[in-house]
């Protein structure tokens, strides 16, 4: 379904975004939408008054009220709420951007994708790492054959753990570090090297805060993916190393920018991602992440959790 704002609405000339959630991940989303000239309204189960005032946006009194007055619903709420929020949006035939993961399970994610297809609207899985320059460049080099025949790859990602009283530590709701953090690099493994035939997984140290998975791809590549929720002083960091017959490609965010994985002189990957969504809605050109990609990432994360013996 093309992007067609209601011509009878008093803001019909402006793209209307309904943002669900006012946590940390909502910050780059709202900033990107505003750069794109959109009019943003927010709804959150906890009153998002301070968030709304800081960004100069309105607050919707309920989820249904938010959906009624927007063109695109952008879901930045906690993982266990994704399915419910997306279904409300799809029932009103709204285009949907949903932060990863699409849902807690692949079965639930596939059901959402099927509902969106039946409604004739977009359900975009926001795997933003595909829009980070370092990962875009890796994808380009691999597709161009510059690395030759790839034999192995490794991806790492670490960040400070969520507060101990956070819902993130309820594995039934969040999937823990695998579905929250490792999912980014599981998606990268699929994007860069294709389907995974078999895998193993292990915990590093006590608890479920550091996990390593080894993936055997159908293409013959072996990928190691490691994710860690670290102590409170842990700085965000990511890296990759890809080894092929023509040499190796390596990258480490700590050597690029001490404040994060993207230098300040490039556009926000969130902005590039949402611009890609708008381009698709206006022209029909495909998005870099398909709905099926969103399901596949969750399915692979579930396989890792199963290998760890985690439900």
Q: Are 280 and 2 in contact (CB under 8 A)?
A: no
Where residue 182 sits, what CATH number does that domain have?
3.30.360.10
Residue ranges with strand state E in the chain: 16-20, 39-43, 58-59, 72-75, 95-99, 123-126, 150-160, 196-203, 210-217, 222-230, 237-244, 247-252
Residue 302: the pLDDT is: 98
Last residue of a domain, one of 125, 158, 179: 125
Please give the average per-residue pLDDT across 136-150, as a whole number.
97
Q: Is residue 6 part of a domain?
A: no
Asked if 105 and 161 sit in the same domain, the reply is no
Asked if 298 and 212 sit in the same domain, the reply is yes
Q: How confident is the model at residue 258 (pLDDT cuts 50, 70, 90)?
A: very low
- Quick check: 4 pLDDT over 80? no
Last residue of a domain, one of 125, 149, 179: 125
Q: Are 304 and 178 in contact (CB under 8 A)?
A: yes
245-254 core/surface letters (b: 16 or more CB in 10 A; e: else): eeeebebebe
Residue 266: the pLDDT is: 77
Q: Are 189 and 215 in contact (CB under 8 A)?
A: yes
3-7, 86-90, 238-242: segment of lowest average pLDDT: 3-7
- Quick check: 3 pLDDT over 80? no
Range of the domain at 235: 129-307
Q: Is residue 169 part of a domain?
A: yes
Q: How many domains does the chain have?
A: 2
Name the range with the highest mean pLDDT among 6-10, 234-238, 257-261, 263-267.
Answer: 234-238
Please give the average per-residue pLDDT across 225-230, as a whole number.
98
Asked if 20 and 120 sit in the same domain, the reply is yes
pLDDT in tens, 48-60: 999 999 999 999 9
| pTM of the predicted structure, to 2 decimals | 0.93
Cα distance from N-terminal residue to C-terminal residue, the chain:
37
Q: How confident is the model at residue 310 (pLDDT cuts 50, 70, 90)?
A: confident
Q: What percent of the chain has pLDDT over 70?
A: 93
Q: How confident is the model at residue 256 (pLDDT cuts 50, 70, 90)?
A: low
Q: Is residue 253 part of a domain?
A: yes
- Quick check: 261 pLDDT over 80? no
Asked if 288 and 147 sit in the same domain, the reply is yes
Residue 62: the pLDDT is: 97
């Amino acid at each position: 379904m093309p992007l067609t704002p209601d011509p009878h609405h008093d803001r019909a000339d402006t793209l209307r975004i309904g943002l669900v959630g006012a946590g940390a991940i909502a910050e780059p989303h709202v900033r990107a939408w505003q750069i794109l000239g959109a009019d943003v309204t927010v709804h959150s189960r906890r009153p998002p008054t301070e968030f709304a005032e800081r960004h100069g946006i309105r607050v919707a009194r309920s989820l249904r009220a938010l959906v009624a007055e927007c063109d695109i619903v952008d879901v930045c709420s906690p993982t266990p709420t994704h399915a419910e929020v997306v279904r409300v949006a799809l029932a009103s035939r709204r285009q949907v951007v949903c932060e990863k993961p699409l849902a807690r399970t692949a079965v639930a994610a596939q059901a959402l994708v099927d509902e969106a297809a039946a409604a004739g609207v977009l359900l975009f899985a926001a795997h933003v790492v595909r829009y980070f320059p370092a990962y875009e460049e890796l994808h380009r080099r691999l597709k161009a054959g510059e690395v030759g025949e790839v034999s192995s790859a490794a991806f790492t990602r670490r960040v400070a753990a969520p507060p101990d009283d956070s819902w993130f530590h309820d594995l039934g709701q969040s999937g823990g570090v695998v579905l929250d953090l490792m999912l980014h690099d599981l998606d990268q493994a699929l994007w860069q090297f294709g389907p995974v035939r078999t895998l193993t997984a292990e915990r590093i140290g006590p608890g479920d805060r550091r996990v390593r998975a080894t993936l055997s791809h159908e293409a013959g590549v072996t990928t190691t993916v490691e994710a860690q929720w670290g102590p409170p002083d842990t700085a965000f960091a990511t890296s990759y190393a890809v080894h092929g017959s023509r040499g190796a490609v390596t990258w480490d965010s700590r050597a690029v920018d001490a404040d994060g994985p993207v230098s300040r002189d490039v556009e926000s990957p969130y902005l590039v991602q949402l611009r890609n969504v708008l381009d698709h809605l206006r022209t029909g050109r495909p998005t870099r992440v398909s709905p099926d990609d969103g399901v596949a990432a969750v399915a692979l994360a579930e396989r890792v959790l199963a290998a760890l013996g985690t439900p």
